[in-house]
């Protein structure tokens, strides 16, 4: 459902207005402010407000009177040190607020991140839009054979066509019956005067899990990066990963030093168990170690070879 | 979907086994342990584990070496004092764990209580049961005329029948298509060898919001009572209120002194704003105060009269 | 310890710099930004950053595309409604960050508010300043006779003089021995080359609890108001109350509508238990109720009379 | 201060009492229940209550009706899998409650772990014991030369003797003046009738940071292990590490499978950054990589060599 003229005008008004502030500002993020990044077929994410920048991390770590920053290279070095040694509290000193539109089944995964503030559009109070997520054909994956919670190859031909048709038809039917049960016209008056209309808090139960909802979501940088480390991961479901990927790009514009440290020490890093570490030491000493005789299980061996790019 | 024989046997085994413990035990709660209390048409709640009792509240408040309890009446007095003065930390020293089966739209309200631990049945990993909530006819309410997020009178006759028929048909159709797209037989093998089957994490999006899910949910007594104060309230949606009401009965068995104090100082209590308080003092001084001249708005006046039982 | 010239220059630089932003700004709070409000003898609080304003509360409550605000009176009405009905999540959408200097025994109370982000000056890493809190004579209270955790009348004459002398001497001695054990000169080199100097993380244990520490503390408006409702209360210890009072004035400048609603519905409000409510109804019906016969205890009766200003 | 006869009798009563329960019980932990493990010179930790066991982790992960356990080896495998892939929520389903006596400066580090419940002995309300931590001579370390927040070599001879004498004398003097200012005899009556006595909430500010306090502290297994991973680490201050080490031994008795997985995947594991990982791959391919040319900084190179045991 495209934005109404009023919504478009509201957003333009916000983008046009500028006021002077003494707070830290990040021009690259100011540019993105209020602009919706489209995701999936009807979703989006947009930054609504933010607090702090790379300097605020340094400032808090030093409990300093001014910005606490010195040379850019020194600040980046401190941020790298904090990230490497998991000193998480200075990263909590930056805060960001998003407006997100997302399918309900994605919202149900997202909300499991508890250290955040949320205001969701209330379907007890208002009527939801007639919008539902239908996967692009390339996303129509079969169940994985090797991973009980993953995707395998992409469905083709008749099966793919049937799945898309079913998803579309069921979501549409359920929504239309939802609207029928509500019995409201555009002004909220009875569409059919002969019927009372079902309470909104009840009618919503007829919607499918791919219906779109939206919320304001606010969290600090530490928890945001934790969200990204779990949801921008290849094991995350594609439909939430696109949001995490978009957030990572926003983080790059907002706090470039923290972003770089995060890529190096979290997203691109690898953890070796005590068992793996001992195998690693033997390998580096020149020994030819095989799984059999490694002291670690087949599954861990295979994970370790993956980490070392040997698969 | 009734329990399988295996599930029934598992539960019986847990109920039959007893071991000695030095920890505080509450016989009245032990009696309820593992027994599911049926709620709505297919839901339930059952206590799976608990920590502490009324004595543990007292013990923590006194930071004592033993149980910290004295006479029962003294302990109850201290618990009342703690509740009245919102000393919440001693109530956090009791913990309880539930296994709950509930419709997804109820789960979405419930999960907004962030200070709790949750493990939900994963529809990425497993197939959900063919069960959905259909309201009893007495719960089929129209939208409230006066409250934008409440229920009005109960639907009757043809409209009620049509609503029930739509809810039933759509949930069933959506579930059957979900199962069809999954293409799994009882052992997880392809039901139709000609099709691959859609990934579980995708197929689930076709389910309706009245499908049932289940989870393990664990929280402390302070947060549990906060949950009850919001969800056992008359403004809460009926479908979550039945769970909160059942929890309150469990609390009564578990920590009777805390339960009594909660009824007196929270659930049965009323808060008067500064404005209302000043009206109250004038009334008690014998003045006949009307809304016009009270200094508070019509809406607050009406709420105040409600608190005083004058409506 | 007065600010160093560098610190003063750092602060001035922050106050002088202004950049344009599209984010909500609050001119009254911008004026206060970075300016330390002196508290107690060596403490202060200063606002370092903020996110949101009254409009952001409304915007989140409406999950709107623009600011979400309508007429000022409508917005204030919605904020009052949210506060009255304890809809706390929209208030979580505003965030504020403080730099605070405070005695350690105050910091130990403050930190009990867990829903906040903190970076404290590290005495493992740095040397603390030679500053300790000595109460003003008017704050030198005796133990209360009636309240086991409160203050009674102010000490006078020789006893007051002796207490002040002891507090001053012990803090000074302990600090001087701390510095002696550290054995560091201004550049961190050994003051006395014949001694190694004790590790900072150990030496600090010799400090008294009235030594000053400082931290960056960041929280959302909902939790900030909760902090104020507990710490700006007459039962709170004076030494933390002065900080809570200063915060309330900052809140007044920042979000005036939320501040007014807070005063009316929290700080100036009163909660009556179910028992008190039933007494109240009898009184309003014209009955002359005495404690004996009221059904509530002497202590609650006395608290109730206090709420009604009858004491 | 040794336990009073009453305290000893209270503890004995708790240990002697046993009641049957249907909840999971862990005999090895039951044996430890209520028994204080002495730590430092006057501190201790003792388990007061617990909820769950290894089986409860499995049960929650499977959202099962019964215990959810299968063969012991299968359960341990699942627990290892959950730990390796950072599926933290099943570990949150176990809860434990401790009674801890610890120096105030240790308590100040400990309390930074926010996801826990705490009731501390109140020095506003009660008088603290005359007990303070004095390091054993072997712990009397100099400031580290290489690490700004660590310890170097142990002080010797006259400097060590002087430090111990100062710590002892200052703590004793401060405590004695605290007691003098309070002016209370054993029954709380004025020791010297000519003086009023300073309020407890004020007098406590004269205590040194090595005075002992105590609290009830309750947390879930996931957060407990996080506490251990930070505080049982070699970079943690010795005085908190002894508590973390004791907790780890309690965890071993309580949930042996989770404990083993924690040692392997957390405490004994090592994380390599993206940069380190690329060096590692070159080394395994047989290349002789030096820091110069490695693409990582000297500091990270040194950390990496440390992880590989090459230092």
Burial A27-49 (b: 16+ CB within 10 A, else e): eebbebbbebbebbebbbbbbbb
Burial call D67-93: b when 16+ CB within 10 Å, e when fewer? bbbeeeeebbbbbbebbbeeebbbbbb
The whole-angstrom separation of Cα A48 and Cα C57 is 13
Chain-centre distance of CA B177, in angstroms? 31
Contacts 24+ apart (CB under 8 A), A63-72: A63/C99, A63/C119, A63/C120, A63/C121, A63/C122, A63/C214, A63/C215, A63/C216, A64/C10, A65/C3, A65/C7, A65/C10, A65/C11, A65/C99, A66/C7, A66/C9, A66/C10, A66/C11, A66/C13, A66/C14, A67/A24, A67/C10, A67/C13, A67/C14
**Closest Cβ opposite residue C142 in set D144, D199, D206:** D199
Q: What is the pLDDT of residue C186?
A: 85
pLDDT tens column, A44-60:
999 999 999 999 999 99
- What value does the mean pLDDT take over residues D22-49? 96
Say which of D231, D252, D266, D299 is annotated catalytic: D231
Mean pLDDT of D177-190: 92
CA A175 to CA B170: how far, in whole Å? 10
**Average pLDDT for B24-41:** 96
Which pLDDT band, with edges at 50, 70 and 90, does D10 fall under? confident
Subunits next to C (3 or more Cβ pairs <8 Å) are A, B, D
Tokens standing for D71?
């063969």
D149 in reach of chain A (CB within 8 A): no
CA–CA distance, D228 with B135 (Å, rounded to integer): 49
pLDDT at C283: 94
Closest-CA residue of chain D to B90: D119
pLDDT above 90 (res A17): no
Name the residue facing D22 among B7, B17, B60 (closest C-beta): B17
Of A267, A270, A274, the CB nearest to D264: A274
Window from B74-83, C235-244, D5-14 with minimum mean pLDDT? D5-14
Give the position of tokens 């602060």: C11
CA pair distance A290, A273, nearest whole angstrom: 17
Question: Could you tell me the sign of the dihedral formed by the alpha carbons of D206, D212, D214, D217, in that order?
Answer: positive
pLDDT tier at D1, thresholds 50, 70, 90: low
* Mean pLDDT, range A284-298, rounded to an integer: 92
* Helix, strand, or coil (residue B249): helix
CB contact under 8 A, D11 and B65: yes
**CA nearest to D45 within chain B:** B65
Query: Of chain A residues 61-120, which have a CB less than 8 A from chain B?
Result: 103-105, 107-108, 111-112, 114-115, 118
- Taking the C-alpha atoms of residue B202 and residue A137, their distance in angstroms, rounded to an integer, is 12
In angstroms, rounded to a whole number, what is the distance separating the alpha carbons of residues B115 and C58? Answer: 25
Could you write out the DSSP letters of every residue in D270-308? EEE-HHHHHHHHHHHTT----STTTSS-HHHHHHHHHHT
- Cβ–Cβ < 8 Å for A101, A214: yes
- Extended strands (E) in chain C: 19-21, 37-39, 43-51, 95-103, 117-120, 141-143, 151-154, 212-220, 270-272
Give yes or no for residue C311 having a pLDDT over 70. Answer: no
DSSP C190: B
d(CA B267, CA B169): 39
- Find, among C264, C168, C292, C221, the residue nearest to C54 by Cα: C221
Query: What percent of chain A shows pLDDT beyond 70?
Result: 97
Interval D168-187 mean pLDDT: 96
Q: Could you tell me how many residues make up chain C?
A: 311
Looking at residues B156-182, what average pLDDT do you find?
97
Tokens for D204? 């406590």
Tokens 């996080």, residue? D226
Long-range Cβ pairs for the range D144-150 (8 Å, 24+): D144/C199, D148/C125, D149/C122, D149/C124, D149/C125, D149/C200, D149/C201, D150/C199, D150/C201, D150/D235
List C residues 213-252 in contact with A (Cβ-Cβ < 8 A). Answer: 214-216, 218, 220
- Dihedral, D74, D76, D77, D80 alpha carbons, nearest 10: 160
Contact residues for B255 (Cβ-Cβ < 8 A; gap 6+): B26, B52, B53, B54, B57, B94, B221
Residue pair B89/B60 in contact (Cβ under 8 Å)? The answer is yes
Q: Who contacts C106 (Cβ-Cβ below 8 Å, separation ≥6)?
A: C133, C237, C239, C240, C243
Q: Is the pLDDT of residue B148 over 80?
A: no
pLDDT(D111) > 90:
yes
| Per-residue confidence (pLDDT) for residue C12, from 0 to 100 | 86
In the beta sheet, which residues pair with residue B20? D20
Is residue B289 classed as helix, strand or coil in its secondary structure?
coil
Determine the angle formed by the axes of helices B72-84 and B54-62, rounding to 10 degrees: 70
Q: How far is A194 from chain B (nearest CA, A)?
A: 9
Residues within 8 A of A (CB atoms), C 6-65 only: 7, 9-11, 13-15, 17-25, 30, 33-34, 48-52, 56, 59-61, 63-65
Q: Are strands B141-143 and D43-51 parallel, antiparallel or unpaired?
A: unpaired
A87-114: average pLDDT: 97
What's the mean pLDDT in C223-251? 96
- pLDDT of A309 strictly over 90: no
| pLDDT computed for residue C94 by the predictor | 98
Whether B231 is catalytic: yes
Return all residues near A230 (Cβ < 8 A) that are at least 6 apart: A236, D86
Angle between helices D221-231 and D238-254 (to 10 degrees): 140
DSSP classification of residue C172: H
Q: How confident is the model at residue A10 (pLDDT cuts 50, 70, 90)?
A: confident
Token pair for C189: 């080199």
State yes or no: pLDDT of B145 exceeds 90.
Answer: no
Q: Residues A98, A216: contact at Cβ < 8 Å?
A: yes
Give the tens place of pLDDT for each residue, C177-216.
999 999 999 888 899 999 999 999 999 999 999 999 999 9
pLDDT value for B164: 97
CB-closest option in C17, C95, C214 to A95: C95
pLDDT level of residue C144 (50, 70, 90 thresholds): confident
Q: CB count, 10 Å around CB of A51?
A: 25
pTM for this predicted structure: 0.96
CA–CA gap between residue C163 and residue D275 (Å, rounded): 60
Lowest mean pLDDT among B90-99, B219-228, C70-79, C199-208: C70-79
CB contact under 8 A, A14 and C66: yes
User: Which phi-psi region, left, alpha or beta, contains residue A297 (left: φ > 0; alpha: ψ -120 to 50)?
Assistant: beta
> Given a cut of 90, is residue D251 above it in pLDDT?
yes
Mean pLDDT of the region A150-174: 95
For B114, the closest chain D residue by CA position comes to D115
How distant is the Cα of B183 from the closest Cα of chain D, in angstroms?
23
**What percent of chain D shows pLDDT beyond 70?**
98
pLDDT tens-digit profile of B51-76? Answer: 999 999 999 999 888 777 677 788 99
Q: Which residues in chain C have Cβ-Cβ distances shorter than 8 Å to D202?
A: 135, 139-141, 151
- The pLDDT of C131-146, averaged and rounded, is 91
Task: Give the C-alpha separation, B219 to D35, whole Å.
Answer: 27
* Touching chains, B (3+ CB pairs < 8 A): A, C, D
CB contact under 8 A, A14 and C52: no
Q: Which two tokens stand for residue D59?
A: 């049960």
Mutate to test the interface with C, among D162, D201, D235, D241 (most CBs of C within 10 A): D201
Indicate the DSSP class of residue D98.
Answer: E
Taking the C-alpha atoms of residue C6 and residue C21, their distance in angstroms, rounded to an integer, is: 28
Strand order in the sheet with D95-103: D37-39, D43-51, D95-103, D212-220, D117-120
CA D275 to chain centre: 33
Answer yes or no: do A112 and B135 touch at CB < 8 A: no
**What pLDDT was estimated at residue B150?**
78
What's the token pair of residue A25? Answer: 């500002």
- Cβ contacts of residue D228 below 8 Å, gap of 6+? D244, D247, D248, D251, D262, D267
Torsion angles phi and psi, residue C44, rounded to 5: -165, 170
Mean pLDDT, residues D205-230: 98
In the predicted structure, residue B247 carries a pLDDT above the cut 90: yes
Bridging pattern class, strands C141-143 and C117-120 = unpaired
The CA distance from A58 to the nearest CA of chain B, in Å, is 30
- % of chain C residues with pLDDT over 70: 97
Give the domains, in start order, of chain D with CATH numbers: 1-133+211-269 (3.30.1360.170), 134-209 (no CATH), 274-307 (no CATH)
Helix (H) or strand (E) holding D168: helix D157-182
Helix axes D157-182, C157-182, angle to 10 degrees: 160
Chain D, residues 159-188, CB within 8 A of chain C, namely 159, 163, 166-167, 170-171, 173-174, 177, 180-182
DSSP 3-state assignment of A68? coil
Mutate one of C13, C117, C120, C126 to test the A interface: name it (highest A CB count within 10 A).
C117
Measured CA to CA, the distance from residue C81 to residue C78 in angstroms comes to: 5
Mean pLDDT score of chain B, rounded to an integer? 93
Q: How confident is the model at residue A311 (pLDDT cuts 50, 70, 90)?
A: low
Choose among B89, B264, B274: nearest Cβ to C275.
B264
Mean pLDDT, range D32-53, rounded to an integer? 96
Per-residue confidence (pLDDT) for residue B311, from 0 to 100: 64
* Structure confidence at residue C73 (pLDDT): 80
Instruction: Determine the 3-state secondary structure of A39 from DSSP.
Output: strand
**Per-position b or e across C131-143, b if 16+ CB within 10 A of its CB:** bbbbbeeebbbbb
B210/A172 Cα distance (integer angstroms) = 17
Helix (H), strand (E) at residue B39: strand B37-39
Min mean pLDDT across A141-145, C28-32, D166-170, D299-303 is at A141-145
For residues C297 and D276, what is the distance between their CA atoms, to the nearest angstrom? Answer: 69
Q: Indicate which of C109, C148, C280, C287 best probes the interface with B, i.e. most B CBs within 10 Å of its own CB.
A: C280
A121 CB-contact burial (10 Å; exposed 0-12 / middle 13-18 / buried 19+): middle
């Amino acid at each position: 459902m495209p934005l109404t003229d009023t919504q478009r005008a509201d957003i333009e008004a916000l983008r046009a207005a500028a006021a002077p502030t003494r707070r830290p500002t990040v021009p690259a993020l100011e540019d993105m402010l209020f602009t919706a990044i489209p995701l999936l077929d009807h979703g989006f994410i947009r930054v609504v407000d933010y607090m702090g920048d790379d300097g605020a991390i340094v400032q808090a770590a030093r409990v300093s009177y001014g910005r606490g920053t010195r040379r850019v290279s020194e600040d980046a070095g401190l941020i790298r040190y904090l990230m490497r040694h998991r000193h998480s509290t200075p990263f909590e000193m930056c805060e960001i607020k998003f407006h997100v539109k997302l399918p309900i089944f994605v919202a149900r995964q997202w909300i499991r991140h508890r250290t955040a503030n949320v205001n969701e559009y209330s379907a007890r109070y208002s009527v939801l839009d007639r919008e539902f997520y239908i996967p692009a054909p390339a996303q129509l994956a079969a169940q994985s054979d090797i991973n009980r919670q993953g995707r395998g190859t992409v469905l083709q031909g008749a099966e793919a066509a049937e799945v898309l048709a079913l998803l579309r038809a069921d979501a549409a039917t359920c929504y239309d019956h939802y609207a029928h049960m509500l019995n409201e016209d555009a002004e909220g008056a009875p569409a059919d005067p002969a019927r009372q209309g079902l309470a909104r808090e009840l009618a919503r139960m007829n919607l499918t899990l791919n219906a779109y909802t939206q919320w304001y979501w606010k969290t600090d940088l530490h928890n945001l990066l934790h969200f990204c480390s779990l949801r921008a991961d290849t094991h995350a479901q594609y439909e939430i990963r696109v949001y995490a990927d978009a957030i990572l790009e926003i983080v790059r514009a907002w706090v470039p030093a923290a972003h770089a440290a995060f890529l190096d020490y979290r997203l691109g890093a690898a953890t070796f168990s005590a068992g793996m570490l001992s195998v690693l030491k033997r390998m580096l000493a020149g020994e030819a170690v095989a799984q059999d005789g490694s002291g670690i299980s087949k599954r861990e061996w295979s994970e370790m070879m993956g980490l070392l790019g040997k698969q």
